């Protein structure tokens, strides 16, 4: 059953959430697609104003469904990064709802000029999500991350403020 954006909430991560955050990162379903952080890196992201670290809640309950991190919230070039998104219930529309909320936060609240991310080439699910939400491929960082005994490349994708506003005008955003 699809989750609608209005049923998804982002609340600031607390230090007491970090056991959950690190366990979700280490989950074998998620680990291949991200580069897990040390707990201290998450502590830094919770505390430093350049980051926004959120727990995702969905539906009626307050059980955490995942977490997201924005970086560059004080970037002088107004270039904000979707640093991480990890959700435990998959394929229920939660990812799309979160990406829409995060675009709104980046462009409306943080006044981003550019909202960007990178995604591993093996992560076809996330690529499909970002492309269908209007992110444009900028280029590839060839063989820039380890993948098993070999390497994977990172695809850099972004959306610009004017592209977001055009989507808002077309009713494609929140």
Ligand X SMILES: CC(C)(COP(=O)(O)OP(=O)(O)OC[C@H]1O[C@@H](n2cnc3c(N)ncnc32)[C@H](O)[C@@H]1OP(=O)(O)O)[C@@H](O)C(=O)NCCC(=O)NCCS
The site for ligand X (CB under 6 A) is made up of 30, 33-34, 85-87, 90-96, 119, 123-126, 128-129, 132
Residue 134 CB, nearest approach to ligand X (Å)? 13
Nearer to ligand X (CB atom), residue 33 or residue 37: 33
Residue 98 or 112: which CB sits closer to ligand X?
Answer: 98
Q: Cβ of residue 46: shortest distance to ligand X, in angstroms?
A: 19
Between 124 and 165, name the residue whose CB sits nearer to ligand X: 124
Q: Whose CA is closest to 120, among 75, 96, 151?
A: 151
Question: How many whole angstroms separate alpha carbon 103 and alpha carbon 85?
Answer: 13
Q: Which two tokens stand for residue 90?
A: 């998959």
According to DSSP, the β-strands at 79-87 and 114-120 are parallel
We find the least distance from the C-beta atom of residue 62 to ligand X, in angstroms, to be 19
Q: Which two tokens stand for residue 25?
A: 């990162």
By beta-carbon proximity to ligand X, the closer residue of 92 and 108 is 92
Q: Please give the residue whose beta carbon sits closest to ligand X in the complex.
A: 95
Least distance to ligand X, CB of residue 41, Å: 16
C-beta of 13 vs 123, nearer to ligand X: 123
Shortest distance, position 96 Cβ to ligand X, whole Å = 4
Question: How many other CB atoms sit within 10 Å of the CB of residue 64?
Answer: 18
What are the contacts of 19-27 at 24+ separation with CB within 8 A?
20/55, 20/64, 20/67, 21/55, 21/67, 24/66, 24/67, 24/86, 24/88, 25/86, 27/88
């Amino acid at each position: 059953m699809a989750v609608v954006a209005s049923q998804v909430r982002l609340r600031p991560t607390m230090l007491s959430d970090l056991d959950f955050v690190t366990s979700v990162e280490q989950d074998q379903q998620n680990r291949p697609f991200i580069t897990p952080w040390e707990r201290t890196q998450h502590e830094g992201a919770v505390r430093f104003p350049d980051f926004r670290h959120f727990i995702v809640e969905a539906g009626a309950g307050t059980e955490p469904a995942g977490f997201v991190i924005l970086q560059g919230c004080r970037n002088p070039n107004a270039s904000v990064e979707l640093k991480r998104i990890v959700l435990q219930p998959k394929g229920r529309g939660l990812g799309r709802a979160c990406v829409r909320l995060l675009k709104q936060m980046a462009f409306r609240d943080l006044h981003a000029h550019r909202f960007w991310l990178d995604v591993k080439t093996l992560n076809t699910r996330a690529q499909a999500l970002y492309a269908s939400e209007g992110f444009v491929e900028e280029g590839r960082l060839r063989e820039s991350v380890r993948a098993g005994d070999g390497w994977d490349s990172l695809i850099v994708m972004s959306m610009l403020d004017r592209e977001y506003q055009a989507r808002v005008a077309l009713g494609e955003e929140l």
